[in-house]
Structure formats: C-alpha cells, structure tokens
Amino acid sequence: MEIRLTDLGLNGKIIRLGGIKNIKGTVQNEIKLGAKTIVAVGNNQTVNKIIGAIIDTDIYGDFQKKTLLGIIPIGDDNSIAASFGIRNEEDACNILLARRIEKIDLGLVGDHYFLNDAIIESEGTNINLGDYSLESEEKGTVRIINLLSDKHNNINSNPHDGLLDIVITPRKKSQTILKLNKFEVTNENEQLLVDGVISVKLPAEVSVVRDLVSVIVGKERSFQ
Amino acid sequence: MFNKENKLEKFKDAETIIGASIKVKGNFHGQGNIVIEGTLEGSLKTDANIFIGEKARVTANIEAKDLIVNGEIKGSIKVKSYLSLGGTAKINGDVQYGELSIERGAIINGQLIAINDTNKKGEVREAEKNQETEE
C-alpha cells in the first residue's frame, strides 16, 4: 500500500502506532508540527481515536479545525470507512488522491465523540429531553446514530442535519424512530457503547456538534 | 368511503415513529408526521399529521393538521383539517375538527365541534357587527 500511495504522489510521514493508548499524543504532536491531513490506517477503533485527537480543541484551539481526516480501512469492523464510501485499501488511495472533502457532524456522549453510532440495551433505558421522556418496556437495542446506512433496518442518517437518529428495536414489537439533537440517556445497569469501541457510564448527555470534522470522502458515500 | 390504505400512505416516511414497546411522558411536540403505536401521557402536537395505531394508548390533548385514530385517546382533540376515526377508535374528550370521517364501531364520549362551522358563524357575527356599526 505504501508503494501504491507513492505511485499516486501521496507522500507523507508514516507513523506506526504500537498501541491504541498513544494515538492521541502522537496525532496531536504531528498537528503541532504542521500536519494538514491525518490519514487513519486501521478500523473503526483507530478512526474514532484519531478523530478524538484531531478535534480536541483544548490544546491547539482553532488551528485544528483545518486538519483533514483521511481513512484507509484495514481488517474488519470498518463501518465508518464504508459510510464514507471507502470500501477497501485500493478505493482509499484513489479517494485520497481525489480529495473530495465533506464537513461532518459528530455525536458527543459525555466527553467522547462518535461518527457512526452509540448503542445500548433498550430495557431500562430512558431518554430524557426535559419536555418529555421515552422509556422502553422491552428487551432490544437503542441505537443513537450520527452516520450510518442500513437499508435492511430503514436507516439512512444524514451527518449534515444537526440531528441524531434514535432507533429503538425491540425483539418482538414495532421499531421506534425519531430525530433529536440533545438529550440525556439513563440506565442503571448498562453502559453506552460508542462507535463499537468505548463504553460510557450513564447517565450521560448526548448531543450533536455540527460540521466539526472535515473528512476526505468517496463518491459512493452513504449520504449527500 | 374512507380508504384506510390511502390515508396511511402519507405516514410511510414519517420522521417520528413511537413503537408499541415505548412509553412517552411529557409534552411531545414535533413538526413532521408522527406515528404513535405505543403509550403517551402528556400532550401531543405537530403542524403536520398524526397516526394513532390500534394498540396505542394516548392520555393527552392532541393538536394536528390531519389525525387518523385507530386506538384509544383520553383528552381533547383539535384537528385543523381532516380527522378520521377508525372502527377501533375510542375517544374520551371533546373533538374539534375541520372535516370528519367516522367508521362503524368508533366510540366518542365528548362534544363534536366543527371548526369551519364555528369560524363561519364567527365570520357572520363579525359581518353583522360591522353592518350595525356602519348603520
């Protein structure tokens, strides 16, 4: 893949990360040194951690908003890359070259950002909005979606609308679908799984932050 | 004759669907079409249309443009345009409507008030007042 990138004229510093723990420091150091584009080579976990590092504005302020995110998916669990129309390594190299850029909303649970979704068991989960609350009376799943295309479950979210899609799917009864921008999630027994990689303790406030990250996307992305 | 299938068409792409396993408490106010199949307690309001499913239990005052009811409602209803009550609808509360369709079997315990009729009467009264003032 490195040869392919060089052939396409995409030169840059390559850093191999030994473990997931040092991603944030490494990425932020490179941004500080002047990196304009960070390409995440890995799966959802890698992308999620790198996004967290890019948009952590506490350290570098507005400077970081100019940093672009590119993705080269490797291995399994690559739903984030798929949502951006990046199906494989070959695709990813051509997409990086084409440099089609989209500003994307991000979901926020507590201190953790997410691109795709946050999931929790529906039984015992409450969604509170101040004016009203929703409570599920059956086992199943609650998905809080920022960006995901799942035609099988009638999900086609839009990461430009400033809203999160809430999809509650019980085992037997009918599905619940609604769009919200800010709410609190509570569950005494369960935790919220963010982008399939981070477990967040509840209660937690969930919101959407508009146009927070600029991503290099493919033509076949799941949104317009 | 009221065609239930046709009327359901407009809810195919409803932005908000409250499934049968969900209980909503509070003031549920939206802008798009809303489908309620579960339980709701509080108030329910939208500028668009609401569909209340057969097994839905709604204890709330409701306001909407069009409303199709097949379940149970305890509370007053205000429908600007078209209200359709299916054969399984059960309403305990006063009902204001623009146009009304009632299927055999529907139960209503409350006053039925036609909004257009009230408006027309209001307009006539206003016109009479104006005439008296001019004279």
B8–A contact, CB cutoff 8 A: no
Q: Is residue A169 part of a domain?
A: yes
Q: What residues form DSSP beta bridges with A208?
A: A107
Complex-level ipTM: 0.81
Return the residue in A127, A143, A161, A176 with the most chain B beta carbons within 10 A, the one to mutate for interface testing.
A176
Q: Do A131 and B38 touch (CB under 8 A)?
A: no
A125 part of contact set with chain B, CB < 8 Å: no
**Using one digit for the tens of pLDDT, what is the confidence trace for A37-81?**
999 999 888 888 888 888 875 555 555 457 899 999 998 888 889
Statement: residue A136 has pLDDT above 50: yes
Same domain (yes/no): A129, A98: no
| Same domain flag for A99 and A151 | no
- CATH number of the CATH domain containing A100: 3.40.50.10330
Query: 37-96 in A: which are within 8 Å (CB) of B?
Result: none
Indicate whether A101 and A30 sit together in one domain: yes
Asked if residue A198 is part of any domain, the answer here is: yes
Same domain? For A132 and A200 the reply is yes
Q: What is the 3-state secondary structure (H, E, C) of A64-125?
A: HHHCEEEEEECCCCCHHHHHCCCCCHHHHHHHHHHCCEEEEEEEEECCEEECCEEEEECCCC
Separation in Å, CA of B69 to nearest CA in chain A: 18
- With an 8 Å Cβ cutoff, is B31 touching chain A? no
Per the structure, how many domains does chain B have?
1
Residue B6 has pLDDT above 50, yes or no: no
Q: Is the dihedral of CA A39, A41, A47, A50 positive or negative?
A: negative
A184 shares a domain with A126: yes
The answer to whether residue A221 is domain-embedded is: no
Residue B123 has pLDDT above 70, yes or no: no
Query: Is the residue at A33 inside a domain?
Result: yes
**Where in the sequence is the domain holding B56, given as residue range(s)?**
4-134
With 50 as the cut, is the pLDDT of residue A146 above it? yes
Instruction: Looking at the structure, tell me whether residues A94 and A21 fall in a common domain.
Output: yes
SS3 A211: strand
Q: Which residue of A has its CA nearest to B44?
A: A132
Residue B85 — pLDDT band, cuts 50, 70, 90?
very high
Among A94-98, B50-54, B114-118, whose mean pLDDT is lowest? B114-118
Task: Please tell me if residue A131 touches chain B, with a CB cutoff of 8 Å.
Answer: yes
pLDDT at A218 > cutoff 90: yes
Domain housing A61: 2-105+212-216
Q: Residue A145 belongs to a domain with what CATH number? A: 2.60.200.40
User: Does A94 reside within a domain?
Assistant: yes
* Predicted pLDDT of residue B1: 41
Q: Is residue A224 part of a domain?
A: no
Which of A129, A136, A178 shows the shortest C-beta gap to B16?
Answer: A178
Residue in B19, B25, B38 nearest the CB of A132: B25
Confidence class for position A36, pLDDT limits 50, 70, 90:
confident
Say whether both A96 and A6 belong to one domain. yes
Percent of chain A having pLDDT more than 70? 91
Q: Is residue A141 part of a domain?
A: yes
